[in-house]
Chain A
Amino acid sequence: MAVETPIDEAWVLAAARVAGLAIAPAHVAGVTANLVRIEQIARPLNAIELDASDEIAPVWTP
């Protein structure tokens, strides 16, 4: 699940367009830095192989 393309400002702006977010030029660098940090933190999570019994929490109760 590793991000194949490194997160940079171009990636952020492209993802923002898909999400319908307009990021002001003054904030692009800060948003990029934060997303890079999140990706670094998420990397060990994304490396864990889980099986089908590891359900998403919380479990929906109708």
Chain B
Amino acid sequence: MDAVSTISNGSITARIENVLADIRARDGAINAFVDITEARALAQARRVDAALAAGRNAGPLAGVPFAVKNLFDVKGLATLAGSKINRELPPAAADATLITRLEAAGAVLVGTLNMDEYAYGFSTENTHYGATRNPHRPEHVAGGSSGGSAAAIAAGLVPLTLGSDTNGSIRVPSSFCGVWGLKPTYGRLSRGGTFPFVNSLDHVGPFAQSLAGLAAAYDVMQGPDPLDPACRPPQVQFVSGTEIKGIEGLRIARATGYFEDNAEAEVVERVKESCARIGVTQTIEIPHAALARAAAFVITASESAQLHLVNLKSRAEDFEPLIRDRLLAGALIPAAWYLQAQRVRRWIHRQFIDIFNSVDVILAPATPRPAQRIGQETFTVRGIEMLARPNTGLLTQPISCIGLPVIAAPIGTLDTFGGLPVGMQIIAAPWREDLCFRVAGALEHAGAATFIPLASNS
């Protein structure tokens, strides 16, 4: 059964009660959830049941349980954004725009999810709320910063979650946890009612257990929003059903160069195998990928520090130790570096977009390697030892720097990494999420990409 589908038999309320009981029973071992919104969930479930009983259309996501990264405003809760400092904020007066849209479609919010503090991380190792564990191998990270969002899907606690992605924070946990994730075009989905990280680079998007579910959620969340000045999509573009349209006529290429050099050989081989399953033989080298990553890195360091400057001046000790020194350093970046990074970003964008004159979709690994252990400081990629946390986003940052739409597709597990999942980026030109879904659908149909269930001994 498609986990994200209109539930037409049985009581929604009873199903949500079971979901809540399951979260209480099993989340302790994973630590995906921070808050469980039980009363609200049951109230919504009863409304959906009443609508169905009255023969009314309860929405395309009627009764579907979902949870959100805790940087999304949930009415009545302080928006923690993974932090200790935000506990002091007043409760949110209104829900984030995407929560409102999902609930209007009948979905049921069951809780909020753990993340790296202020989204500044790729591992969801959070000193205040604990690390989120990878459901496949609990001694390993779930990825970040939307680690709770991916882990909750991987563990089967909910079929749909929301996360955010500035430099890879949907794509990295998708890859590490073996679930589907969508980072849409910059400005496609509203960030209204979310706590920011880097306004120049922040995206929001869904995770799901199924590709069809990802499409369904994405469709109901689309549309402009005056609360987010960056959300000005050219038009709503429904994608449900496009995943079965096939890839005839599409020009698809696998990224080489930077995207091979910065990934372990086994990861590259798995991507090649996935490409072969759908007949992709063309390769392409993306120009200036390293520079795009560098620009995103500097922009992130500078903007995030400025956002938190008041608190960095008055209460630095209350920040997450893993990010405090990074934020303080970012506050000292010369303005000339930041401005140069933004101008280089514009310069790279022109050349990046030219690529799409000769190719429609690009395939690339999502992460250099599968998930590292919780607490691991360094890892090795192609024989080179490097810091684990900042370098987990080596392959995602160049793409989000330009704001291109990406589906993170789960393409299996690697035996040489203890059976941990690995993911692939399906990248298209701006506003062409439909092409991402078509290629994702072809991969799924070919058996090359699918949600990775937990092994029986997990």
Contacts from A to B (Cβ < 8 Å) = 1, 3, 12, 15-16, 19-24, 27, 30-35, 37-39, 41-42, 44-46, 48, 50, 54-58
Inside 8 A of B313's CB, which chain A residues have their CB?
20-22
B298 touches which one: A19, A22, A24, A45 (CB < 8 A)? Answer: A45
User: What is the CB-to-nearest-CB distance from A8 to chain B, in angstroms, rounded to a whole number?
Assistant: 12
Q: Are B347 and A54 interface neighbours, CB within 8 A?
A: yes
Residue among B332, B333, B390 with max Cβ neighbours from chain A (10 Å): B332
User: What is the CB-to-nearest-CB distance from A43 to chain B, in angstroms, rounded to a whole number?
Assistant: 9
Inside 8 A of A23's CB, which chain B residues have their CB?
316, 328
Q: Are B343 and A56 interface neighbours, CB within 8 A?
A: yes
Q: Are A38 and B329 interface neighbours, CB within 8 A?
A: yes
Q: Are A15 and B332 interface neighbours, CB within 8 A?
A: yes
Extra pairs beyond A24-B316, A31-B328, A56-B342 (12, CB < 8 Å): A1-B340, A16-B332, A20-B313, A21-B312, A23-B316, A31-B329, A34-B328, A38-B330, A44-B291, A45-B295, A48-B344, A50-B344
Q: Are A45 and B332 interface neighbours, CB within 8 A?
A: no
A35 touches which one: B332, B339, B344, B390 (CB < 8 A)? Answer: B332
- Kindly state whether residue B301 has any CB partner on chain A within 8 Å: yes
Q: Are A57 and B345 interface neighbours, CB within 8 A?
A: yes
User: What is the CB-to-nearest-CB distance from A2 to chain B, in angstroms, rounded to a whole number?
Assistant: 10
Inside 8 A of A33's CB, which chain B residues have their CB?
325
User: What is the CB-to-nearest-CB distance from A49 to chain B, in angstroms, rounded to a whole number?
Assistant: 10
- Kindly state whether residue B290 has any CB partner on chain A within 8 Å: yes
User: What is the CB-to-nearest-CB distance from A10 to chain B, in angstroms, rounded to a whole number?
Assistant: 13
Q: Are B325 and A57 interface neighbours, CB within 8 A?
A: no
Grouping DSSP codes into helix (H, G, I), strand (E, B) and loop, the B interface class, with mixed when no group exceeds half, is: helix
Interchain CA distance A39-B200 in the complex, whole Å: 20
Interchain CA distance A45-B334 in the complex, whole Å: 13
Q: Are A50 and B325 interface neighbours, CB within 8 A?
A: no
Q: Are B291 and A46 interface neighbours, CB within 8 A?
A: no
Interchain CA distance A20-B200 in the complex, whole Å: 25
Q: Are A57 and B342 interface neighbours, CB within 8 A?
A: yes
Interchain CA distance A50-B351 in the complex, whole Å: 14
Can you identify 25 A-B contacts, CB atoms within 8 angstroms? A1-B336, A3-B334, A12-B329, A15-B332, A16-B332, A27-B324, A27-B328, A31-B325, A31-B332, A32-B329, A35-B332, A35-B333, A38-B297, A38-B298, A38-B301, A42-B297, A42-B298, A44-B294, A50-B340, A50-B344, A50-B347, A54-B343, A56-B339, A57-B343, A57-B345
A30 touches which one: B325, B330, B331, B346 (CB < 8 A)? Answer: B325
Inside 8 A of B346's CB, which chain A residues have their CB?
54-57
Give the top 9 A-B pairs by smallest Cβ distance, nearest first.
Answer: A30-B325, A34-B329, A35-B329, A15-B332, A31-B328, A56-B342, A57-B346, A54-B347, A54-B343
Question: Chain A: which residue is nearest B403 at the CB level?
Answer: A57
Question: Chain A: which residue is nearest B342 at the CB level?
Answer: A56
- Kindly state whether residue B356 has any CB partner on chain A within 8 Å: no
Inside 8 A of A15's CB, which chain B residues have their CB?
332
Question: Chain A: which residue is nearest B229 at the CB level?
Answer: A61
Question: Chain A: which residue is nearest B293 at the CB level?
Answer: A41
Question: Chain B: which residue is nearest A30 at the CB level?
Answer: B325
Interchain CA distance A37-B316 in the complex, whole Å: 21
Interchain CA distance A9-B336 in the complex, whole Å: 21
- Kindly state whether residue B46 has any CB partner on chain A within 8 Å: no
Question: Chain A: which residue is nearest B295 at the CB level?
Answer: A45
Residue among A45, A48, A55, A58 with max Cβ neighbours from chain B (10 Å): A45
Bitwise, B278-304 to A at CB < 8 A (1) or not (0) is 000000000000110011011001000
Q: Are B200 and A58 interface neighbours, CB within 8 A?
A: yes
A45 touches which one: B312, B324, B328, B344 (CB < 8 A)? Answer: B344
- Kindly state whether residue B317 has any CB partner on chain A within 8 Å: yes
B343 touches which one: A30, A31, A50 (CB < 8 A)? Answer: A50
Question: Chain A: which residue is nearest B334 at the CB level?
Answer: A3
User: What is the CB-to-nearest-CB distance from B312 to chain A, in angstroms, rounded to a whole number?
Assistant: 6
- Kindly state whether residue B58 has any CB partner on chain A within 8 Å: no
- Kindly state whether residue B349 has any CB partner on chain A within 8 Å: yes
Interchain CA distance A45-B23 in the complex, whole Å: 46
- Kindly state whether residue B326 has any CB partner on chain A within 8 Å: yes
